[in-house]
Amino acid sequence: MINKIISPLMLLSALIMLIFIFSPVMQAQIIRCFACKEEIKGAYIIVDGNYYHAQHFVCKKCGKPIEGSYQKLLGDYYHPDCYESETAVKCAVCGQIITGEMITKDLKFYHPECYKKFIVPKCSVCLEPMEGEYKVDVYGNKFHAYHIGVLDQCEICGRIICSALTNGGRYYEDGRHICNLCYEKVEYNRQNIQDLLTKVIDKLNQMGIRLSKNNISVQVVDKNELKRISGMEKFNQLEGFCQSQGQTIYVNNTKKKTNFNHKIFVLSGLPSLNIEGILAHELMHTWAAENTPDNQPPDVREGSCNYISYQYLIYSSDPDVKYLLLGMEKNTDPVYGQGFQKIRNKFYGKPISALLDYLKSGN
């Protein structure tokens, strides 16, 4: 809250006139100066019942003798001008006296222009003072609400793409607009992506989700290609897809075993954190293909894959993970969002095996 006030001290102070007394010193009595404690011979002045050498009655602020009127404050004496500057309200930014309007905040006083320039928080997008309605992104960056819809948000991290916050951004050929913070972290190297697959499989195995490294491959494709492969042309948020093929071997018309082969497709141009999250989701599909009935409802299937991705990502120390986790928590899609929330409500805090048993049972 900002208040505009005038100095209370200015109202309280009253101008007091100085009294000079010139009189011969009486022989019988020694008069001492209240300031220097020396004997006074000749002219003296009396202020508040105390005697002073005329040159020893000095201003607290400038140290020069006071001749004429003075002002008193907390037992000290001042020239009227010195008193004015001593008691005037000063700006906590520039240190200069505030004569006109002022702004008070947290028991400090400011010139309005100093306040605006140095104290008001700055918008992290346009760097102008932040007044009026503002928003905060998941990373804690505050910005004017009116930038939303005018400037693009990064499709990877959700930050507003601008020079101040993200050092600009770029467009991918498939139309995605991403910020340069994310672009710096994009993983293109095929071997590194293969290593990420191995890493996520190892982690899921540790979580009790049994997967083989021998029948799963990964391939990076752009958005248009991913839509084409998945057949989900209208689903713009799609970041991964898994093709699972099973070959069932029969002996004497009796099913002996099914050999599976899984091809995972991951959206290109993403940082490794995002790739890992997508791989965890798609790998859960590979597990489901091998271990659960085919007729599982879509919200259970996608919800449980998102839940495993969530469980995988939740331990990441990458600050951008917040955005991914929040994206899943706040997703309102009936399959991916509500499906995830349903599974999460049911299995959060329980061992992963409880979820796996539930999925196997086909409920």
| Interface positions with Zn ion (CB under 5 A) | 33, 35-36, 53, 56, 59, 61-62, 79, 82, 91, 93-94, 111, 114, 123, 125-126, 144, 154, 156-157, 179, 182, 302, 305
DSSP letter string over 46-74? EETTEEE-GGG-B-TTT-PBP-S-BEEET
CB of 77 to Zn ion, least distance (A): 9
Q: Which of 242, 209, 244 is nearest to 355 (CA)?
A: 209
Distance CA 326, CA 136 (A): 14
Per-residue buried b or exposed e for 277-304, using 16+ beta carbons within 10 Å of the residue's own CB:
bbbbbbbbbbbbbbebeeeeeebbbbbb
Element (H, E) at 86: helix 80-87
Q: Which of 84, 85, 106, 107 is nearest to 96 (CA)?
A: 85
Three-class secondary structure assignment of 112-177:
HHHHHHHHCCECCCCCCECCCCEEECCCCCEEEHHHECCECECCCCCCECCHHHHCCEEECCCCCE
Distance CA 79, CA 73 (A): 11
CB of 287 to Zn ion, least distance (A): 12
Distance CA 241, CA 290 (A): 16
Tokens representing residue 137 in the block: 């992104």
CB of 98 to Zn ion, least distance (A): 7
CB of 166 to Zn ion, least distance (A): 6
CB of 252 to Zn ion, least distance (A): 37
CB of 251 to Zn ion, least distance (A): 33
CB of 64 to Zn ion, least distance (A): 5
Cβ closest to Zn ion, residue 29 vs residue 254? 29
Cβ closest to Zn ion, residue 127 vs residue 354? 127
CB of 47 to Zn ion, least distance (A): 12
Cβ closest to Zn ion, residue 125 vs residue 275? 125
Cβ closest to Zn ion, residue 79 vs residue 196? 79
Cβ closest to Zn ion, residue 78 vs residue 347? 78
Cβ closest to Zn ion, residue 182 vs residue 264? 182
Q: Which of 261, 282, 257, 266 is nearest to 201 (CA)?
A: 282
Cβ closest to Zn ion, residue 113 vs residue 249? 113
Cβ closest to Zn ion, residue 111 vs residue 227? 111
- DSSP-assigned beta bridge partners for residue 32: 39
Distance CA 328, CA 216 (A): 25
